[in-house]
Structure 1
């Protein structure tokens, strides 16, 4: 609009001044080096006007050409992006169908013009691994890393793929490169729950389990089983490598809240028994049994191999006077008598245990007692009842 006003102004001036200049044309001389140009003022103004119009036309033409080029470039760019989006979507669907070769081809081809190239390379890496092409997988992961500068998504995907290959050491290394906040994410903790036991990193595992349970990553029953397994492995490792004293020291240094868990306490005693130090196990177990008649503790006590079980028997009988209807306690006393080949006493306690709660172990122990007492018919009857439990 501004340019049009300039043109109209020039025309108006020409119309106004034209008649006056016609009578007095004036004189214009332009000299440059050895060249001279002579013309009237009217001609000079006319030439200037024509040059100005040519300049405006040239600017308009260049602008039109630039806009046309830009629109063409944008059109091709948009077309490539749309094609990349389409290939990426098709590749994701192929991954879900299990067509990994087609999926890899589509997502890797679309990565160059994709708005999220790292996602394409990560998907291609997973597809390559599913085809057993580890070298190509590593190349895709390297490309994804360059795109995101070690982004957490790349490291997490890399760890997940390494777990699938059961390369747990490499997976743990990938996770350790994550920022502290990323390591708190639920998917990362789930991976650690798989990795740490495989690498026998029991200390880290027992520290992770309560956190994972609180975050509802484990069911209660699974949590209790894993807690017992992990502490048993940890205590057994300490007993085998550093001796029973180290187990006792570790137990004493544990928080009071953990010591209240009979699962953990039983694991400590079980580890000492498995390491062949039943005396140390009884030293720890004896104090616990005075406070708790827990079935897990009693089950560990039944595995003790004591040179002199008399102190344990006396302790258990003292506990029995306080809890006369404790079937597990009666069964344990009977088992100790059975180990000492005191068949009549073992028979009596097994019978008392069965009268309260019948179990396969009690029937088997009672059958063995009758067999040793040379009453084969009774022994056969109780063996049959044990098989029906």
Structure 2
């Protein structure tokens, strides 16, 4: 286009300057071997302009013909690609409308000549999953897995679908291929968290916790609660195996974790199972010298014996602080019964029912009142238990 404009400028310039050279045509002589050309300057200039114009026209014709040939050669491919785009758009709209059969059909067709077939196969697998068509779903995922850069996405999808179907063993087999760690993406860690909890694999979950915290999958409060739950479960499992496993698990915890009262309570409960009650009670007494948590107060009646006067003294010293705490009153009610201090036990049960009126607490109070021949009180307590049902 620029050359055409240049030619046009030259022609216009020649037309403007030609009157100045009227009668002065000039002379041009060209000789090459035996070939000779003689003409005037004006004719030579016009011949050059016409030659370059014809050359430009020939170039344009050649380019046009080549484009037509190439476009006609690749036309079927373009048609297929345009059709694939149309099917992909139709499938995406069907997914948004949750029209799963239409979405599966459109995405499958769009994958054959689409620009991103992995996305089409994954979308078709999702639609098949929603229709409980497991064979078709696996077929789409297998095809997607053969495409570049889609392996991890396919494996993650398989884990999710197996979990939705309750096939935890298959899901775990796929998850192990991803090797969840601090380098993994957040969706993989989230799936690992859910799967480990479903399988009660506390050991794997304990190793995963630092990665969950680093990637901020859990906030601080959720992390602390889960970490506490995992530690308690590990200690309980270890106590069921052997005393050596219990000690190994206890010392595997960090110093800070061993100082947490919930872990101390679970460890003490495990020690009792191996005839180490005195050591367990000493550990719980250490917690009682501070303000004990609910776990310590829950475990203590399972270990306490009537002759444990030091422990009873520590518990009574806590009464001014914990009088209005249901966990404390529940613990004291059971401790007083173990010591056969039935009047104090009844007072503790009554206080507990006032703080936390649950059915099982009213029934415990009623049984104690019957034992003390307080039949009217027992009747009222049974009545309250019925209301709490």
Q: Normalised by the size of structure 2, how large is the TM-score?
A: 0.71
Q: Which residue of 2 aligns with 1:152?
A: 152
Q: CA deviation at 1:239?
A: 1.4
1:126-137 correspondence runs (5 A): 126-137=126-137
Structure 1 portions without partners, runs of 5+? 2-10, 20-56
Alignment equivalent of 1:326, drawn from 308, 322, 327: 322
* 1:125/1:343 CA distance change after superposition, 3 Å: same
Q: Which residue of 1 aligns with 2:197?
A: 197
Cα contact 1:111–1:121 (8 A) shared by 2: yes
Q: Which stretch of the first structure deviates more once superposed, 132-141 or 84-93? A: 132-141
Q: CA deviation at 1:133?
A: 3.0
Q: Which residue of 2 aligns with 1:167?
A: 167
Q: Which residue of 2 aligns with 1:300?
A: 299
Q: Which residue of 2 aligns with 1:103?
A: 103
Structure 2 portions without partners, runs of 5+? 4-28, 39-56
Q: CA deviation at 1:374?
A: 0.9
> Aligned partners of 1:219, 1:122: CA distance in 2, in Å?
31
Aligned length: 339
Q: Which residue of 1 aligns with 2:10?
A: none
Cα contact 2:288–2:314 (8 A) shared by 1: no
> Aligned partners of 1:249, 1:324: CA distance in 2, in Å?
38
> Aligned partners of 1:88, 1:182: CA distance in 2, in Å?
35
> Aligned partners of 1:242, 1:117: CA distance in 2, in Å?
54
* 1:255/1:117 CA distance change after superposition, 3 Å: same
Q: Which residue of 2 aligns with 1:289?
A: 288
Q: Which residue of 1 aligns with 2:336?
A: 337
> Aligned partners of 2:158, 2:30: CA distance in 1, in Å?
76
- Tell me, yes or no, if structure 1 residue 188 matches structure 2 residue 188: yes
> Aligned partners of 1:140, 1:271: CA distance in 2, in Å?
50
Q: CA deviation at 1:87?
A: 0.6
Q: Which residue of 2 aligns with 1:138?
A: 138
- Tell me, yes or no, if structure 1 residue 314 matches structure 2 residue 313: no
* 1:367/1:135 CA distance change after superposition, 3 Å: closer
Instruction: Give the RMSD, CA atoms, in angstroms.
Output: 4.0
* 1:214/1:368 CA distance change after superposition, 3 Å: farther
Cα contact 1:91–1:107 (8 A) shared by 2: yes
* 1:150/1:284 CA distance change after superposition, 3 Å: farther
Q: Which residue of 1 aligns with 2:48?
A: none
Task: Give the secondary-structure state (helix, strand or coil) at the position aligned to 1:143.
Answer: helix
Task: Give the secondary-structure state (helix, strand or coil) at the position aligned to 2:320.
Answer: coil
Q: CA deviation at 1:138?
A: 2.3
Q: Normalised by the size of structure 1, how large is the TM-score?
A: 0.71
Q: Which residue of 2 aligns with 1:254?
A: 253
* 1:248/1:301 CA distance change after superposition, 3 Å: farther
